[in-house]
Amino acid sequence: MKLFIAGATGFVGGHLTAELLRRGHNLVLLSHGRPVAEQPGVSFVQGDATDPERFLPALDGCEAVINLVGIIREFPPRGVTFERLHRQATAGMISAAKRSGVQRYLQMSALGTRREAVSAYHRSKWQGEELVRGSGLAWTIFRPSLIFGPKDAFVNMLAANLKRLPVMPVFGDGNYRLQPIHGDDVARCFCDALEMPATANQCYELCGTDRLTYRELLDAIAEALGKSHPWKPALPLALMKPVIKALERFSAFPITSDQLQMLLEENICNGAWRETFRFEPIRLRDGIRGYLNA
Q: Which residue from 235, 214, 212, 193 is spatially nearest to 107, judged by alpha carbons?
A: 193
pLDDT at position 33 is 72
Q: Are the C-beta atoms of 169 and 158 separated by less than 8 Å?
A: no
Q: Are the C-beta atoms of 106 and 193 separated by less than 8 Å?
A: yes
Rounded to two decimals, what is the model's pTM?
Answer: 0.96
CA pair distance 290, 194, nearest whole angstrom: 29
pLDDT at 37 over 70: no
Q: Encode 259-276 in three state secondary structure.
A: HHHHHHHCECCCCCCHHH
**Residue ranges per structural domain of the chain:** 2-147+181-206+270-277
Place 200 in a pLDDT band, splitting at 50, 70 and 90: very high
CA pair distance 234, 210, nearest whole angstrom: 23
Q: Convert the pLDDT of each residue in 180-190 to its tens digit.
A: 999 999 999 99
pLDDT at 97 over 80: yes
pLDDT at 151 over 80: yes
First to last CA, the chain: 34
pLDDT at position 168 is 97
What's the CATH fold of domain 2-147+181-206+270-277? Rossmann fold (3.40.50)
pLDDT at 32 over 90: no
CA pair distance 282, 199, nearest whole angstrom: 22
Q: What value does the mean pLDDT of the chain take?
A: 96
Helix, strand, or coil (residue 55) = coil
pLDDT at 147 over 80: yes
φ, ψ at 216 (rounded to 5°):
-65, -35
